[in-house]
Structure 1
Amino acid sequence: MPRPTKHHPERGGARTRLLDAAVDMIRAKGFAATSVDELCQTAAVTKGSFFHHFKSKEELGVAAARHWAETTSAFFAVAPYHAHDDPLDRVLAYVAFRKSIIVGELAEFTCLVGTMVQEVYAQSPAIRDACGDSIFGHASTLEADIDAAIKNRGVKGDWTADSLARHTQTVIQGAFVLAKAANNPALARESLDHLDRYIRLLFERPNMEQVTP
């Protein structure tokens, strides 16, 4: 299954090409270091075309976060972890799936909105909020399965389905930061292994029961 990571300048209209280029470039070098001129060159559009579609670079950043949310939502909606009958198996398979797509260069698997929000959260509330919508929106897709797993197993605790869903994203985003800090994707996969163990402990599922993505 292809991942939504690579820019294809020959596909789509000028706006789509600019957004795809922004996704790739911001993941690779950050928002501030990504210039309008470079975006236009990569997307094969004129600067006039850029400002026809976006009033400013900040507006592009907001649109890129929303574009990321749309493309990744479609990607995860058809991911194989949904096929499991048991809701806990679906949650564990989600973690396994996230680990399975940590491949290639750092910019190919790290998160656009996680990268962008760390950089501009204080300078651009608009971009921050768009990134937050993407991260929290994705977390919310796990809540129904977690809630069903809680009910199926009669689990009780001072935590909720939505708080655990958010925690999965805390671990994933933190894993990306560690991978970048060490220039080592293996550290991100290691973090996902620990997330798997943590969820199993919450639900008292032995580690030897393997769940595939």
Structure 2
Amino acid sequence: MKKKTAAPKKTRNLEKSRKEILEAAFPLVFARGFQGVSIDDIVNQTSLTKGAFYHQFPTKLELGYALVDEVIKPMIIDRWIKPLESYENPLEGILKQMKTLIGKASPDELRLGCPLNNLVQEMAPVDAGFRDRLEASLTLWIDEMESHIKRAKKEGYLKNDVNTRHVAHFIVMTHEGFYGMLKGLHDPKAFDALFDSLKRYFQTISN
């Protein structure tokens, strides 16, 4: 068997630097918006030089694109898709995740909204690179959600006439709508009304 060659040290260091920059940038952008954060703000939160930043990201936009592709996309899968694999009826998992991640979130967390939706509102109208990547992230979310909705239908949890694509679109829109409403209303109790409406919708499409 051919022995696997270890990654060169330089490559490992570059990967580590890139990860450090992204981990420093994400919370700043989440809290202030992409346009409200400077490269200096980000570099100051790392152990790196500005030169090391530019070696990884020649422009601030390149950093923004990487945040979508390398941070937000995996976050969607980890938070909203993978947990559904452990539920025989994915609809139960969807409700559980929303209750846990949104319903039990602190007011400070809710005040920030959803990182994906924030960037859609801020950057999609003004930059094509962001717009394409954000659209791809939403499409990934819808595609993966539909795969679980199809599974629910196959197992007999949904009515035969249910359009799984439409349901997937609605669920993703609901996630984003929950965050937007709670961010705007500054009232965590509003979650209960929104959550009850989602449960009622699930009842109308379930067997």
RMSD over equivalenced CA pairs, Å:
2.4
For residues 190 and 46 of structure 2, what CA distance do their matches in structure 1 show?
32
| Residue correspondence of structure 1 range 88-107 to structure 2 within 5 A | 89-102=89-102, 103-104=105-106, 105-106=108-109
**Which residue number corresponds to residue 209 of structure 1?**
none
| 1:69 aligns with one of 73, 98, 106 | 73
**What is the CA-CA distance between 1:188 and the residue it aligns to?**
4.2
Gapped regions of structure 1 (runs ≥ 5): 1-11, 205-213
Gapped regions of structure 2 (runs ≥ 5): 1-14
Q: Is the 8 A contact 1:24 1:107 kept in 2?
A: no
**What is the CA-CA distance between 1:173 and the residue it aligns to?**
0.8
For residues 16 and 185 of structure 1, what CA distance do their matches in structure 2 show?
33
TM-score calculated relative to the size of structure 2: 0.79
**Which residue number corresponds to residue 13 of structure 1?**
16
Q: Deviations over 1:118-163 (max 9, x none)?
A: 1011211111221221222122212123223334257254x62112
TM-score calculated relative to the size of structure 1: 0.77
| 1:184 aligns with one of 184, 187, 193 | 187
**What is the CA-CA distance between 1:77 and the residue it aligns to?**
5.2
| Residue correspondence of structure 1 range 102-141 to structure 2 within 5 A | 102=102, 103-104=105-106, 105-106=108-109, 110-141=113-144
**Which residue number corresponds to residue 144 of structure 1?**
147
**What is the CA-CA distance between 1:64 and the residue it aligns to?**
0.0
For residues 137 and 169 of structure 1, what CA distance do their matches in structure 2 show?
11
**Counterpart of 2:35 in 1: which secondary structure?**
coil
Give the partner amino acid of 1:147: K
**What is the CA-CA distance between 1:82 and the residue it aligns to?**
2.2
Which structure has greater helix proportion? 2
Number of aligned positions between the proteins:
188
For residues 27 and 161 of structure 1, what CA distance do their matches in structure 2 show?
31
Give the partner amino acid of 2:66: A
**What is the CA-CA distance between 1:26 and the residue it aligns to?**
1.6
Moved over 4 A (4+): 75-78
Q: Does residue 51 of the first structure (1) align with residue 75 of the second (2)?
A: no
For residues 92 and 109 of structure 1, what CA distance do their matches in structure 2 show?
26
